[in-house]
Amino acid sequence: MSKKSATSGKSRWQEFKASRAPMWKEIKFTLNRLKKSPLSILGIAIIVFFIILALIAPLIAPPVPGYDEYMMPKEKPYGSTPKPPSPEHLFGTTPYQYDIFYGCIWGTRTAFRIGVFVVFFGLLFGLIIGGISGYYGGIIDEVMMRGTDIIFAFPGLLLSMALVVSLPSQITIIDYGSIRWIVTLTSLDKVLISFILIGWPNYARVIRGEVLRVKNEVYVEAAKAIGCSDFRIMIKHILPNSIYPIIIISSLDIGGIVLAAAALGFLGIGSPEGYSDWGRLISLSRDWILPSNADPLGYWYLFIIPGIFIFMFVLGWNLLGDAFRDILDPTMRRR
Amino acid sequence: MEKNLLEIKDLTLNFYTYEGVVRALDRVNLEVKEGETLGLVGETGCGKSVTGFSILDLVPPPGYIEGGKVIFERKDKRYNLLDQKDSFLRTIRGKDISMIFQDPRSALNPVYTIGDQITEVLLLHRRVEFCKQVLSRKDLTRYERSLYMKMLKSPSSLTVRILSAIPILNRFKHKIEALARAEAIKMFKTMRIPDPERFLRSYPHELSGGMAQRAVIGIALACGPKILLADEPTTNLDVTIQLQILNLIKELKKDFHSSIIYVTHDMGVIAEVCDRVAVMYAGNVVEVADVFELFKNPLHPYTKALLESIPRAGHSFKSIEGTVPSLINPPGGCRFHDRCPYAMEVCIRVKPTLVELKEGHFVHCHLYSKGSE
Amino acid sequence: MSRLIEVRRVKQYYPILGGVLRRKVADVKAVDNVDIEIEKGECFGLVGESGCGKTSLAKTILRLLKPTAGHIYYDVPSDVLERITKLEAPEVARDMELEKIQSQLKVEKISVSELEKRQRQLKADKTRSQELKKIQSQLKAIKARSAELEKRQRQLKADTTQSHELEKIQVQLKADKASILELEKRRDQLKADKTILEESKKIDVQLKDVKAKSAELEKRRRKLKAQKIKSSELEKLRNQYDIGRHHGKKLNKMRRKIQIVYQDPTTSLDPRMLVKDIVAEPLTVQKIAKGTKVQEKVIDILNKVGLSGSHLYRYAHEFSGGQRQRIAVARALVLNPEFVILDEPTSAVDVSVRAQLLNLLQDLQKEFDLTYLFVSHDLSVVECISNRVAVMYLGKIVEVGETAQIYKNPLHPYTVALFSSVPIPDPTARRERAVLSGDVPSPVNPPSGCRFHPRCSKAMDVCKREEPTLVNVGDGHKVACHLINA
């Protein structure tokens, strides 16, 4: 017998449905808006495609047992001449015979890892610092914003390269007698951490701006009049109303981060050689882009195929970010 | 019998939104005579502001005018403003029909001084007159003279436009701008603004609400329009400033011989300023009468309820039952029937027609159309 | 009836920061030395135009802002209140005298600067001395020349041959004599014109006078400031009853008793929260109820304001203006407060809904035994709903009293102007009304003396110098005007 709520006479299930009703209405409205914008649908389709690709990676590109699945399999003989696409190697092989097909498929997983990891933690730090800075103002605001200014002053890619080089490979968190907790950072991890350290100021800035705007709204003052603590106001009132620009920026950023990681991978910083990472794949083709006068684009598959993957991935996230901006644009919503 | 300067006949306006079609205006009929102040009164959502906007065809999408005519008399010719092209309407807006808005600070462009904004209007509409004045001077260089002749004949010619944009070569415009500024100063002097030169040089954010509204009124009246559309101009102002502005409007009306369509929800202001009143409810005009007649003898139940609900000391104020209906699915028949204390069976089915009970006093109500039979 | 709120000498100044180092340059004197008493169970109206400080006062009472000075005593029993008044008397007297001295000093400073300016003007007026010098030198030159000419004349007189030269010289001498006479006349005129000197001497005397007075005032002020009149009993009482001093837990508990309904329900309700969350929030924050009890209370209060349980799961923007304002009222009442501040609750809604809302507010007042502070600029609404009314202008209360009395017989010129500028919904009552000239001045630099004197048609000399105090003219009707209190 479903319990009936004492006051409204509905069953618990009905109550639950009713409480989610406005959310469904919002979602329906959002979907309707999306339908009107074909580019947004394209963006969503691309991202969904990549997600599926990442999920079924073990099926279509089975890893070699005994080896780390992210390392691309090498084919004997280890000749240095890349081979064009063939039935065994769908996208061909790189110099030193890494399978490009394997690398691209598993590279999708790497790309998601990079993008989501960096944006998530960058967002976390940015939210905390920007939120506190915007809400309290005064000297806290000044200090934090000057900190972000300092980080902004450096050219991003160069600073990230410097950080990657200087971050230690092993961080000892606890070394007390028998308790030892040492974190080992692979070079890919170092790249990710350096991106986070460089990327959070952007989010902090944007959040701070939004918090400053929302802080002056009447409903925040009304909440104070009820006796809400600062923390509660920040979490329940300010954050939900200021999150929209952040959603847009972070979705655009995932694409940007992947691109930057690919750039670093091309320069040889980041994942080790043989790791299935799109940038790394292209770096392997460095010497073969224009091999000889006789055959200028003969080895096109070396860089064009991973390049297409990068391009589509970033394009998908950009379109998704645009889609978010369109549907979340307050002037278009009938608030 | 004065002629009708503006006639709105059967105006129907719809807004196409996600939730459905909002039938904002449903066969609205209004007349504005020369030299009179017509009050358009009603609550939020009744369509009074939109009526004003649609006279000038300024209704933004998703609003579309579905039917009706707006007939305006200009130089003895009658035009349906809804049929005209945008280029024709642009010659009317600001010159023959002007508009004053509710919030003066947002009606003025914050990055231009008041002087810039009023000379813009003056130069746009009275260009011919000013050009002729400039050409009648003796101290023009040949270069300037030729440019002004060109401006006179074809103001939007390419030469004039390019030369106006180049910094040093556009000095020729200073003469005509000086004339426009002098005209603006004269205008503000008649509005009794202290120190008009300084006023012209200030930016909208430097002015108080009352002064900004005066600037907006000055810009609206700069070209001597025949009809002034005032969309709740004093709602955001303090009561003492409101009095100043109302007196100003009354005086200017006398000087400029304009008609005014005064849109508001404040019955007190209507009683102060207007000659005739039209009461609107949910997109319909329900009663039109002379102002004294309306207050003394309101006929439509909505008008009666509205007058009774004004909080006044000593009277217990009665509120109107229910709320304004949603215009997406408006009630059939008379749109007021679900809140009307005198509703009859016919009110639900049939929309009431216009009945002229006394001379000049029109009602849309079945109570009176039946009674007269 | 017992006093619920006693506002004493409350000031609310907003600092203006300027300069490179963001130091305080000036204050926006939003509320300047305001006294208000609100009885339990009454509806107290507060009217005034924009910029007069009524919203700031409301927020100060609500403790959204800490008062810059002054005390807000909440729910004090009358005998304790008397005790506090007695204990406060010396402090009040001292503060009043300090204020007077302050304003006097300001006036003196203005006159000093004026006098000094005039002094400098006079000193710079060298024209007289210059002209004098010029005349002297001219005289000397002409005298020398005429002496020479005379010498020549005497020489020539003896010699008859150069008669025409003699004539020339004679003519010249005559002209010279005439100009000498003229110049001497002018010189005597100027010398006699001692006016500038006299004026400068007079100004000197005046300056000395004024400076002496200022010095005296300063001395008195310093002495007063150094006076120690703190009493520990007063402090204890204040810590208990003065909500201006509460903070932390005490402040939170006080928030249950005083609530506010804002003007614009569109912005005062969080657009991302459901109605049930909005109304339940005070209960959760103040930890009064939990779980299903919260739901019960929410539905209960919604029913009382005329909404129903079916409205729980909707966003605020889906309702009409009047309904949204009801939600705001529900949110304010869900904690069962004693005192509700209504900050222009009817300004943002339509006329017909206004009546509904006012009826609702009156019913709720009776049902819950509430006390209202009704802040508004709409005089007709205030007239209908309040028992007593106070009129504010530029941070000061200019008139206070029973509603009927004030509306029938307004005394302060500002009140008169305010009431007469309200348009009456009756075209036969069109009358010539006194238009108040000018705009409301900014509260940063309020006019000296009575703040209304630049716009007052009946301003007298004393109005520029001295600030009028609220004086009881009978039956609790108080006015602050020199005209009335002369």
DSSP of B248-262? HHHHHHHHHT-EEEE
For A179-228, the three-class secondary structure string (H helix, E strand, C coil) is EEEEEECCHHHHHHHHHHHHHHHHHHHHHHHHHHHHHCCHHHHHHHHHCC
In angstroms, what CA-CA distances link A258 with A245, A305, A311, B174, C415? 20, 16, 10, 57, 69
Ranges of each domain in chain C: 121-223
Q: What is the pLDDT of residue A330?
A: 56
Q: Chain A residue closest to C331 (CA)? A: A226
Walk me through the domains of chain A, giving residue ranges and CATH numbers: 27-328 (1.10.3720.10)
Q: Which of residues 276-295 of C touch A (CB under 8 A)?
A: 276, 281-282, 285-286, 292, 295
Please tell me if residue A124 touches chain C, with a CB cutoff of 8 Å: no
Average pLDDT of the residues in B248-258? 84
Q: What is the pLDDT of residues A86-111, one digit of tens each?
A: 777 777 777 777 888 888 888 888 88
Shortest distance, CA A139 to any CA of chain C (angstroms): 12
Q: What is the C-alpha separation between B296 and A253, in angstroms, rounded? A: 68
In angstroms, what CA-CA distances link A178 with A170, A183, A184? 18, 16, 18
| Sign of the torsion angle spanned by Cα atoms A200, A203, A207, A209 | positive
Instruction: Single out the residue of B131, B240, B118 nearest to residue C437, CA to CA.
Output: B240
Token pair for B41: 């009164």
Q: What is the C-alpha separation between B253 and B36, in angstroms, rounded? A: 9
Spatial contact of B41 and B48, defined as CB atoms under 8 Å apart: yes
C423/B211 touch (CB, cutoff 8 Å), yes or no? no
Q: How does C333-353 read in b/e, with b if 16+ C-beta sit within 10 Å?
A: bbbebbbbbbbbbbebbbbbb
Question: In terms of pLDDT, which residue wins out, C170 or A4?
Answer: C170
Spatial contact of A270 and A261, defined as CB atoms under 8 Å apart: yes
Please tell me if residue A8 touches chain C, with a CB cutoff of 8 Å: yes
Amino acid type, C218 = E
Per-residue pLDDT band at A292 (split at 50, 70, 90):
low
A7/C295 touch (CB, cutoff 8 Å), yes or no? yes
Question: In terms of pLDDT, which residue wins out, A20 or C316?
Answer: C316
Q: What is the C-alpha separation between C96 and C231, in angstroms, rounded? A: 18
Residues of chain B with CATH 3.40.50.300: 1-109+226-324
> Which positions in chain B touch A331 (Cβ < 8 Å)?
none
Please tell me if residue C264 touches chain A, with a CB cutoff of 8 Å: yes
Chain-centre distance for alpha carbon B223: 15
Calculate ∠ Cα A142-A147-A151, nearest 5°: 145
Q: What is the pTM of this model?
A: 0.78
Beta bridge partners of B361: B358
Token pair for A61: 């590109």
Q: Chain B residue closest to C420 (CA)? A: B240
CB atoms closer than 10 angstroms to residue B69: 16
List the beta strands (DSSP E) in B91-209.
97-100
Out of A5-9, C205-209, C476-480, give the one with best mean pLDDT.
Answer: C476-480
In angstroms, what CA-CA distances link C49 with A303, B240, B285? 72, 8, 34
Q: How does A255-292 read in b/e, with b if 16+ C-beta sit within 10 Å?
A: bbbbbbbbbbbbeebbbeebbbbbbbbbbbbeebeeee
* Disruptive mutation site among C307, C351, C394 for chain B (greatest number of B CBs within 10 Å): C351
Residue with tokens 């939990």: C290
Q: Which of residues 19-58 of B touch A (CB under 8 A)?
A: 19
Shortest distance, CA B18 to any CA of chain C (angstroms): 14
pLDDT of A49 higher than 90: yes
> Which positions in chain B touch C322 (Cβ < 8 Å)?
323
The H or E element spanning position B347 is helix B345-349
- Identify the burial level of A175 via C-beta atoms within 10 angstroms of its C-beta, where 0-12 means exposed, 13-18 middle and 19 or more buried: exposed
3-state secondary structure of A99: strand
Q: What is the C-alpha separation between C326 and C345, in angstroms, rounded? A: 10
Out of B247-251, B312-316, B335-339, C346-350, give the one with best mean pLDDT.
Answer: B247-251
Question: In terms of pLDDT, which residue wins out, C102 or B101?
Answer: B101
Spatial contact of C417 and C452, defined as CB atoms under 8 Å apart: no
Report DSSP letters for B152-167, one per residue.
HH-TT-HHHHHHHHST
Average pLDDT, chain C: 83
Give me the percent of chain B exceeding a pLDDT of 70. Answer: 97
Q: What is the pLDDT of residues C290-309, one digit of tens each?
A: 878 888 888 888 888 888 87
Please tell me if residue B177 touches chain C, with a CB cutoff of 8 Å: no
> Which positions in chain A touch C299 (Cβ < 8 Å)?
7-8
Token pair for C19: 């300069």
A223/C270 touch (CB, cutoff 8 Å), yes or no? yes
Q: List residues of C whose CB lies inside 8 A of any B CB.
A: 49-50, 320-323, 350-356, 358-359, 377, 379-381, 383-385, 403-404, 407, 417-418, 421-430, 433, 435-436, 439-440
Q: Chain C residue closest to A237 (CA)? A: C270
Q: What is the C-alpha separation between A99 and A86, in angstroms, rounded? A: 11
Q: Chain C residue closest to A8 (CA)? A: C309
Residue with tokens 């204040």: C238
Token pair for A78: 């280890």
Q: Chain B residue closest to C353 (CA)? A: B319
Q: What is the C-alpha separation between B328 and C317, in angstroms, rounded? A: 17
Cis peptide before B62 (omega within 30 of 0): yes
Q: Which of residues 287-326 of A touch C (CB under 8 A)?
A: none
Query: What CATH number has the domain spanning B1-109+226-324?
Result: 3.40.50.300
Average pLDDT of the residues in C330-349? 88
Q: What is the pLDDT of residue A6?
A: 46
- Identify the burial level of C239 via C-beta atoms within 10 angstroms of its C-beta, where 0-12 means exposed, 13-18 middle and 19 or more buried: exposed
* Disruptive mutation site among C253, C256, C268 for chain A (greatest number of A CBs within 10 Å): C268
Average pLDDT of the residues in C321-332? 89
Average pLDDT of the residues in B31-53? 86
Spatial contact of C464 and C448, defined as CB atoms under 8 Å apart: yes
| Sign of the torsion angle spanned by Cα atoms B109, B115, B118, B123 | negative
Report DSSP letters for C264-311, one per residue.
-HHHHS-TTSBHHHHHHHHHHHTT---THHHHHHHHHHHHHTT--GGG
The H or E element spanning position A240 is helix A239-242
Which chains are adjacent to chain B, needing at least 3 Cβ pairs under 8 Å? A, C
Question: In terms of pLDDT, which residue wins out, B82 or B299?
Answer: B299
Q: What is the C-alpha separation between A201 and A210, in angstroms, rounded? A: 14
Chain-centre distance for alpha carbon C205: 34
Beta bridge partners of B38: B261, B276
Instruction: Single out the residue of C121, C103, C8 nearest to residue C60, CA to CA.
Output: C8
Q: What is the pLDDT of residue A150?
A: 92
For A71, which DSSP code?
B
Average pLDDT of the residues in C267-289? 86
What dihedral angle (degrees, nearest 10) is formed by the CA atoms of B173, B174, B177, B181? 180
Q: What is the pLDDT of residues B111-136, one digit of tens each?
A: 999 999 998 888 888 888 888 887 88
Per-residue pLDDT band at A333 (split at 50, 70, 90):
low
Spatial contact of C259 and C340, defined as CB atoms under 8 Å apart: yes
Token pair for C472: 């009881």
Spatial contact of B107 and B164, defined as CB atoms under 8 Å apart: no
A60-64, A128-132, B239-243, C358-362: the lowest-pLDDT one: A60-64
Amino acid type, C84 = I
Strand order in the sheet with B354-358: B97-100, B227-231, B259-264, B37-41, B276-281, B284-290, B361-364, B354-358
Q: What is the pLDDT of residue A296?
A: 66
Q: What is the C-alpha separation between A275 and B229, in angstroms, rounded? A: 72
Amino acid type, B370 = K
Antiparallel, parallel or unpaired: β B37-41 and B276-281: parallel
> Which positions in chain C touch B295 (Cβ < 8 Å)?
425-428
Q: Which of residues 245-264 of B touch C (CB under 8 A)?
A: 246-247
Q: What is the pLDDT of residue A291?
A: 66
In angstroms, what CA-CA distances link B153 with B147, B159, B160, C204, C252? 10, 12, 11, 70, 75
* Disruptive mutation site among B15, B16, B17, B18 for chain A (greatest number of A CBs within 10 Å): B18
> Which positions in chain B touch A334 (Cβ < 8 Å)?
17-19
Phi and psi angles of residue B316, each rounded to the nearest 5 degrees, phi first = -80, 130
Q: Chain A residue closest to C261 (CA)? A: A222
Q: What is the C-alpha separation between C479 and C411, in angstroms, rounded? A: 7
Phi and psi angles of residue C478, each rounded to the nearest 5 degrees, phi first = -115, 140
Q: What is the pLDDT of residue A146?
A: 92
A258-262, B310-314, C168-172: the lowest-pLDDT one: B310-314
| C440 CB-near residues (< 8 Å, 6+ apart) | B208, B238, C49, C50, C51, C52, C394
Sequence length of chain B is: 373
Q: What is the pLDDT of residue A120?
A: 92
A309-313, B340-344, C254-258, C384-388: the lowest-pLDDT one: B340-344
How large is the C-alpha radius of gyration of chain C?
36
Shortest distance, CA A121 to any CA of chain C (angstroms): 25
Q: What is the C-alpha separation between A191 and A111, in angstroms, rounded? A: 13
Average pLDDT, chain B: 83
Q: What is the C-alpha separation between B188 and A123, in angstroms, rounded? A: 55
> Which positions in chain B touch C455 (Cβ < 8 Å)?
none
A133-137, A236-240, C198-202, C405-409: the lowest-pLDDT one: C198-202
* Disruptive mutation site among C254, C269, C313 for chain A (greatest number of A CBs within 10 Å): C313
For A222, which of C262, C286, C312 is closest by C-beta distance?
C262
Per-residue pLDDT band at A178 (split at 50, 70, 90):
confident
